[in-house]
DNA sequence: CTCTCGATTATCT
DNA sequence: GATAATCGAGAGC
């Protein structure tokens, strides 16, 4: 978006019956976007510091969304590096939900924005990740056991702050 | 109206 | 490895 972008390499799923999802508590001012039609962005502020980007999914009214956790930057690298001075390597530019939004310039102002209009531009995958790995979700305090974290196998851009695992030991 | 917590990250020991 | 930073939403009074 806005000249910067990349390939999504890691996501996490959240739906209404998921205790870890914001939509679990029901329709509220903050989550109403998730209860709306799919194809919209649900952005919210986490820990008062980071904006997290979600894509609202079908069916409408199910309050399901996909959290975009990691991105392989392919466009606007220069801009992204400027926005993320803390990143030591290019791999750190978007290797996390908070980092990703900062890199792309996504803010709360983009909440409820269409994904096929304005600053956003959602494109079909180029070659499609050969393998998708499912693993426990990260950073949540409920329903941690659900394997709803999907990441592209082999991509060095996936986030992996805490996960003890996924690869082994 | 006030208080607590959170789908995180950067920085220090 | 542990901890602080920081603000909006939800729940309680």
pLDDT tens-digit profile, chain A (169 residues): 668 989 999 999 999 989 899 999 888 888 999 999 999 999 999 999 999 999 999 878 789 999 999 999 999 999 999 999 999 899 999 999 999 999 999 999 999 999 987 778 877 766 665 688 898 888 898 888 889 999 998 899 998 765 555 555 5
Q: CA A54, C1' B7: Å apart?
A: 10
Q: Are strands A41-46 and A5-14 parallel, antiparallel or unpaired?
A: unpaired
What pLDDT is recorded for position A166?
52
Q: CA A46, C1' C6: Å apart?
A: 9
Note the Cα A155 to chain centre separation in Å.
Answer: 16
H/E element, A44: strand A41-46
pTM for this predicted structure: 0.91
The answer to whether some atom of strand C lies closer than 7 Å to the beta carbon of A24 is no
A31-36 CB contacts, 8 Å cutoff, 24+ apart:
A31/A63, A33/A111, A33/A112, A34/A63, A34/A64, A34/A65, A35/A60, A35/A61, A35/A63, A36/A60, A36/A112
What pLDDT is recorded for position A129?
56
What pLDDT is recorded for position A131?
85
What pLDDT is recorded for position A121?
84
The answer to whether some atom of strand B lies closer than 7 Å to the beta carbon of A54 is yes
The answer to whether some atom of strand C lies closer than 7 Å to the beta carbon of A169 is no
What pLDDT is recorded for position A50?
95
What pLDDT is recorded for position A45?
95
Architecture of domain A5-128: Roll (3.10)
What pLDDT is recorded for position A148?
93
Which residues of A spanning 112-151 put their CB closer than 7 angstroms to strand B? Answer: 137-142
Q: CA A124, C1' C10: Å apart?
A: 37
Centre a 10 Å sphere on the Cβ of residue A83 and count the other Cβ atoms it contains: 18
What pLDDT is recorded for position A95?
94
Q: Which nucleotide is nearest to A14 (CA to C1')?
A: B7
| Partner residues linked to A149 by β-bridges | A12, A135
């Amino acid at each position: 978006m806005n000249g910067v972008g990349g390939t999504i390499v890691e996501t996490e799923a959240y739906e209404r019956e998921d205790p870890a999802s914001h939509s679990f508590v029901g329709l509220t001012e903050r989550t109403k976007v998730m209860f709306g039609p799919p194809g919209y962005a649900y952005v919210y502020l986490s820990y008062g510091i980071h904006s997290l980007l979600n894509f609202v999914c079908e069916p409408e009214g199910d309050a399901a969304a996909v959290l975009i956790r990691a991105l392989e930057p392919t466009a606007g690298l220069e801009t992204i590096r400027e926005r993320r001075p803390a990143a030591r390597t290019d791999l750190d530019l978007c290797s996390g939900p908070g980092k990703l939004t900062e890199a792309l310039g996504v803010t709360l102002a983009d909440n409820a924005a269409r994904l096929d209009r304005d600053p956003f531009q959602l494109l079909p995958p180029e070659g499609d990740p050969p393998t998708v790995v499912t693993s426990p979700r990260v950073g949540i305090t409920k329903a941690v056991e659900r394997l709803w974290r999907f990441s592209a196998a082999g991509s060095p851009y996936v986030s992996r702050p805490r996960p003890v695992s996924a690869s082994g030991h």
